Amino acid sequence: MGRNIVKIVTDIPGPKSRQLTSESNKNVAKGVYLATPIAISSAKGATITDVDGNTYIDFAGGIATLNVGHRSDEVVQAIKEQADRYLHACFHVNIYEPYIRLANKLNDITPGQFPKKTMLVNSGAEAVENAVKIARFYRKQYGILSFLEAFHGRTALTMSLTGQIQPYKYNLGPPDPWVYHLPFAYCYRCPFGQTYPSCEVICAKYMERVFESVMPPDSIAALIVEPVQGEGGYIVPPKEFLPEIYSICKKNGIVFIADEIQSGFARTGKMFAIEHFQIEPDIITMAKSLAGGMVLSAVTGNAEIMDAVHLGGLGTTFGGHPLSCQAGLATIDLIDTNNLTNRANTIGDKMKQALSAMQEKYPIIGDVRGIGAFVAIELVKDRATKEPAPNETALVRERCCQNGLITISGGIQRNVLRFPVPLVITDEELDEGLSILEESFKGIS
């Protein structure tokens, strides 16, 4: 392929990356986390080149933001053409076609056989904030149900919705008192000590226990759930879990919000992960791979619910930026024309097969899981006790980086390796990345 894949004996990070890291430490707030010690110079498809000239296979995808790859030609062209017309107008001042076209497209492709409407904002957290605002206004109640291990953002409200303390909300302020967390269907570490399927999905039924002892259903505005948890470690619930909690929501008039910020746009082998469970959410939040690397997020939902808020109650200056909207339209078209949903399944099958083979060789790999190309492995010090292995996880990631593979971790204990690879990755790149990953496990126990 003509790439200069770095080897373990190479000086990583290189001198230019070290210099930029030093400047970052002097100028950027310490709380802004850095996952790798390399500084990017350019990227294309599923590869990244650093400022020292080393090229890496990207198994991180900008944290699931680059399903259509780095710098897609079609996305870049759409941005350039829009930049020649106008950069910013603010939709509250002058409406413009790209915003309206993208809203129409999202209304069309999101699940739900009912009239829908959309608002466009900037980040995943902002989409979640607005979804909750809309649900609260519609229901005239404030209670929100979320889940343990969930991640919904880092703002004051989304931090409260997030079901992880470190590093997202430790000592960062009091939680929203109207948020309550339910156990998620984390079968590898069942919070009830049960085994699926004999458990009869007791975790879903627990929701009604909450109604009896903590929050009555008529005080709850919405339930928000990631169909497959992202930062929590790519936790895929059993097929009965989401339909059960959805049924409880419908019975009690609770707005069901599907957070598809990380799992959407073909990542799981369907356009949206919730489709695997035959559920039509009242509201769906989207971001990350919506716009091929541009800043954009969206809230799409039942028109009756979306229209509940009074005029002026929703909005943001840069939401639905024209360049981002055009990038979003190009991205959705790319997913469709290149059949990336099928490609996600092909990638996922290949990854799970390779990772399962590694699991047989290396006892540190406790669990292999995923749906479509939403694939992860959980590392443990002992398979019997399932004691998390965060230090070993960090070491594997360091070795991968030294050998030319970029990875990211996840899970409450940071002992999960997540692989949201760009769906445009070639078979050769995928094979090479998996080979580097396996090499990185050797000697680690």
Same domain, 277 and 425: no
- Interstrand relation of 283-286 and 255-259 (parallel, antiparallel or unpaired): parallel
Domain boundary among 312, 337, 362: 337
Does a structural domain hold residue 255? yes
Share of the chain above pLDDT 90, in %: 95
pLDDT at 12: 76
Question: What pLDDT was estimated at residue 32?
Answer: 93
Asked whether residue 7 is domain-assigned, the answer is: no
Residues 152 and 217 in one domain: yes
**Spatial distance between the Cα atoms of 267 and 151, rounded to a whole number of angstroms:** 17
* CATH number for the domain harbouring residue 346: 3.90.1150.10
pLDDT in tens, 281-315: 999 999 999 999 999 999 999 999 999 999 999 99
Written as six digits, the tokens of 10 are 């190479």
pLDDT at 3 over 80: no
Do 257 and 132 form a contact (C-beta atoms < 8 A)?
yes
Compute the distance between CA of residue 102 and CA of residue 148 in angstroms, rounded to an integer.
33
Classify residue 123: in a domain, yes or no. yes
Q: Which residues pair with 417 in a beta bridge?
A: 377, 409
Residue 203 has pLDDT above 80, yes or no: yes
SS (H, E, C) the chain: CCCCECCCCCCCCCHHHHHHHHHHHHHCCCCCCCCCCCCEEEEEECEEEECCCCEEEECCHHHHCCCCCECCHHHHHHHHHHHCCCCCCCCCCCCCHHHHHHHHHHHHHCCCCCCEEEEEECCHHHHHHHHHHHHHHHHCCCEEEEECCCCCCCCHHHHHHCCCCCCCCCCCCCCCCCEEEECCCCHHHCCCCCCCCCCCCHHHHHHHHHHHHCCCHHHEEEEEECCCECCCCCECCCCCHHHHHHHHHHHHCCEEEEECCCCCCCCCCCCCHHHHHCCCCCEEEECHHHHCCCCCEEEEEEHHHHCCCCCCCCCCCCCCCHHHHHHHHHHHHHHHHCCHHHHHHHHHHHHHHHHHHHHHHCCCEEEEEEECCEEEEEEEEECCCCEECHHHHHHHHHHHHHCCEECEEECCCCCEEECCCCCCCCHHHHHHHHHHHHHHHCCCC
Structure tokens at 48: 């990244």
Q: Is residue 2 in some structural domain?
A: no
In this structure, the answer to whether residues 219 and 273 fall within a common structural domain is: yes
Residues 265, 67 contacting (CB under 8 angstroms): yes
For residue 286, the cross-strand partners are 298
pLDDT in the model for residue 33: 87
Q: 242: how many CB neighbours lie within 10 A of its CB?
A: 25
Mean pLDDT of 343-362: 98
**Could you tell me if residue 4 is inside a domain?**
no
Q: What is the pLDDT of residues 73-95, one digit of tens each?
A: 999 999 999 999 999 999 999 99
pTM: 0.96
Cα 418-125-377 angle, rounded to 5 deg: 10
Nearest to 417 by CA among 156, 158, 228, 233: 233
Pairing of strands 297-302, 255-259: unpaired
Amino acid at 252: N
Tokens representing 195? 């085994």
Among residues 337, 357, 390, the one where a domain terminates is 337
| Structure confidence by residue, pLDDT tens digits, 210-229 | 999 999 999 999 999 999 99
391 CB-near residues (< 8 Å, 6+ apart): none
pLDDT for the residue 289? 98
Average pLDDT, stretch 7-13?
Answer: 59
- Please give the pLDDT value at position 397: 97
- Asked if residue 3 belongs to a domain, the reply is no
CATH number for 133: 3.40.640.10
- Whether residue 19 is contained in a domain is answered as yes
The count of domains in the chain is 2
Residue 287 and residue 237 in one domain: yes
The stretch 350-365 carries a mean pLDDT of: 98
pLDDT of res. 10: 55
pLDDT of residue 5 exceeding 70 = no
- Across the range 250-265, mean pLDDT stands at 98
195 and 104 in a common domain: yes
- Token pair belonging to 140: 């005239």
Count of CB atoms within 10 A of residue 73's CB?
11
pLDDT for the residue 13: 86
Residue 332, amino acid: I
263-277 per-position pLDDT tens digit: 999 999 999 999 999
* Cβ 323 vs Cβ 331: under 8 Å: no
Range of the domain at 207: 74-337
Q: Is residue 375 part of a domain?
A: yes
Phi, psi of 352 (to 5 degrees): -65, -35
State how far the Cα of 49 lies from the Cα of 424, in Å rounded to an integer.
17
Asked whether 71 and 60 are in contact (CB, 8 A), the reply is: no
Answer whether residue 4 shows pLDDT above 70: no
Instruction: Return mean pLDDT, the chain.
Output: 95
- Whether residues 245 and 331 share a domain: the answer is yes
pLDDT at position 2 is 40
Name the domain boundary from 315, 337, 359: 337
